[in-house]
Amino acid sequence: MKTIIAAFILSLTLTSAVAHADANMDRQSYCSSYAGMFKSIAAWRDQGVQPEKTLELIRGVKGIPLQVKQESIKAVYFDKSLANARGPEFGNQVRLDCLAGKVK
């Protein structure tokens, strides 16, 4: 059940992210940046960095709107079903979901 909830929340965040993708960025680049951002957010969460500081740290990620960054931080930090999401596997899954068009 937790996996289904996590997938749903991740899908909502991805939907918002893809809908706001920078017009100058191809989907491959966008999804790679997006996945890297998620992976970094999870790493900082695990290191005890506060969400506000994490937002400061990811402000420089190009092609991803501020609202999407904020939603991503909320999902990774506060969704209990994503509490164990981390590392390369997490980043790869986010990237694959984005590339597969699981979001509209």
Dump the DSSP string for the chain: -HHHHHHHHHHHHHHHHHHT--TTS-HHHHHHHHHHHHHHHHHHHHTT--HHHHHHHHTT-TTS-HHHHHHHHHHHHH-GGGTT--HHHHHHHHHHHHHTT---
> Could you state, in order of their start, the residue ranges of all structural domains in the chain?
2-99
Q: How far apart are the first and last CA of the chain?
A: 23
Question: Mind listing the pLDDT tens digit of every residue in the chain (104 residues)?
Answer: 445 445 545 555 655 555 555 444 689 999 999 999 999 999 999 999 999 999 999 998 888 999 999 999 999 999 998 999 999 999 999 999 999 876 43
